[in-house]
Structure 1
């Protein structure tokens, strides 16, 4: 009798984060993948978020334990910000290997504490475990300042962001190509390293943005790369996204020309960890957002897919259990 393959030998590597989320939906019957969740308790609306990282996959050679604590706190704050919500309290679950030095442990806690304080969040403590890898998870609670902002842009919208993409993507590209040490003196590389070590989601802009909350139909941050943001907005909103220009500075574009083997589109779209906001806004709000430092870089049209110029965008950002997608 032939034995039926039940699929028990299939590993999750290659299925991808999106595929695994679909499995979660099938099993628990509900999973709203919108970066930040709103809940109501006794008439009070709250915003909640959990995010985490593994040091074995997320820590680069130039990053300290302090940097990693700051980074994971910033990643949670960034998701609150793009949904126009204010983070208030955070608790942290830490798993460390037994051979981690006490100095590294202290630096991790300082990074978490300083990051929380910098972003106006109170770090309440949490849980501590021993394991085979170093893992940090931050859960935060805060208040939504307006209604729910999802991932479904409206046809006719403009996509806006702060035009500082490319720096982290350049560092990632040089690092994985084994060439980072050759370009450490380049200003664009220095800035990219600083952005990775001390990400700064612009939470201080929240009060000003609240004045224009009615302009925003959808939002995401760029933690997994601009390409992934654009493809997610297109898929979830069932719309066509057309990128008109690369959201980067003129100085960055000029510097990158000096580095052989770098495709500027790749480092802009397949970067990640910039923690920059991307908002889909009504076209008549363009000038208001320009005054805040945002620039229009794409339009939302009827149809499907993401296009850069006349071609389908090949870059799709980072996906856990797959890697960089093109």
Structure 2
């Protein structure tokens, strides 16, 4: 079972059995796969899966589920500085799933693709025990622009494109573990219900050759820093962690440490 060994161990088993992933310009374990097409061109692909009972918090609409399915794939492209062009969606739909809910979900997918200027070109459908969505992204990248995880050097500055803690705090509110005034709660819930990938920032930073390494931080700041450190063979001194202002207020109200939420 997946739960008995965990995602990271599953990845290690797969890589151990398959061995070298020939043709992947970035190497195994990066945010995307970048297949070498020859010359300077790369076929960049990504697939990410959403399962309703593990990835959909209470209160999330089906429209937001569709939006999130696209965004979590786009976020990895953003971290690599690559423009996604085509999105496909494979859906496992449980028996009895209402047509109204399906339309709402697809509207979320459609609108997210429009927001990121991506062509949504279909996919596959099947019946499953629970709602299962697997997004797939394709784009063309270039060897002199794509940003991997392995390039961090001594003396580099660690920078982020946003503030942290919103998702962790929002999830605690959605799960009913903690509360906050309406104005604060609404802002924090948007981090988990309506996430937005930093695609424009990633493309711009890549275009001006401003990055030596980069990673999508959806798995959390602490884990992302560990992955960059491990891939680049360097350590980091972190003196300032940008925390969402509402997270600080939420933490103060509930006796929590905002840095813990940010990490």
Q: For the Cα contact (< 8 Å) 2:82–2:140, is it kept in 1?
A: yes
Corresponding position: 1:22 with 2:12: yes
Structure 1 residue aligned with 2:47, among 23, 47, 50? 50
Equivalence for 2:148: 150
Q: What is the aligned-residue RMSD (CA, Å)?
A: 2.0
Corresponding position: 1:246 with 2:237: no
Q: For the Cα contact (< 8 Å) 1:53–1:136, is it kept in 2?
A: yes
CA drift at 1:253: 5.7
Higher helix share: 2
> Quick one: distance in 2 between partners of 1:49 and 1:254?
34
CA drift at 1:66: 0.9
Structure 1 segments unaligned to the other structure (5+ residues):
1-10, 270-326
Q: 1:206 to 1:235 in 2, by over 3 A?
A: closer
Q: For the Cα contact (< 8 Å) 1:166–1:252, is it kept in 2?
A: no
> Quick one: distance in 2 between partners of 1:34 and 1:218?
11
Equivalence for 2:254: 260
Corresponding position: 1:68 with 2:62: no
SS at match of 1:217: coil
Equivalence for 2:80: 83
CA drift at 1:163: 3.8
Q: For the Cα contact (< 8 Å) 2:88–2:136, is it kept in 1?
A: yes
> Quick one: distance in 2 between partners of 1:67 and 1:144?
29
Structure 1 residue aligned with 2:103, among 99, 106, 114? 106
- Give TM-score scaled by structure 1 length: 0.72
Q: For the Cα contact (< 8 Å) 2:47–2:137, is it kept in 1?
A: yes
Q: 1:148 to 1:258 in 2, by over 3 A?
A: closer
CA drift at 1:175: 4.2
Residues 300-320 of structure 1 deviation map (CA, whole Å, 9 limit, x = unaligned): xxxxxxxxxxxxxxxxxxxxx
Corresponding position: 1:233 with 2:228: yes
Equivalent residues in 2 for 1:156-171 (5 A)?
Answer: 156-171=155-170
> Quick one: distance in 1 between partners of 2:154 and 2:38?
37
Structure 1 or 2, whichever has the larger Rg, is 1
Structure 1 residue aligned with 2:219, among 224, 233, 236? 224
CA drift at 1:194: 1.1
Q: For the Cα contact (< 8 Å) 1:173–1:267, is it kept in 2?
A: no
Q: For the Cα contact (< 8 Å) 1:169–1:266, is it kept in 2?
A: no
SS at match of 2:208: helix
SS at match of 2:83: strand
Equivalent residues in 2 for 1:94-133 (5 A)?
Answer: 94-133=91-130
Higher strand share: 1
SS at match of 1:159: coil
Equivalence for 2:177: 179
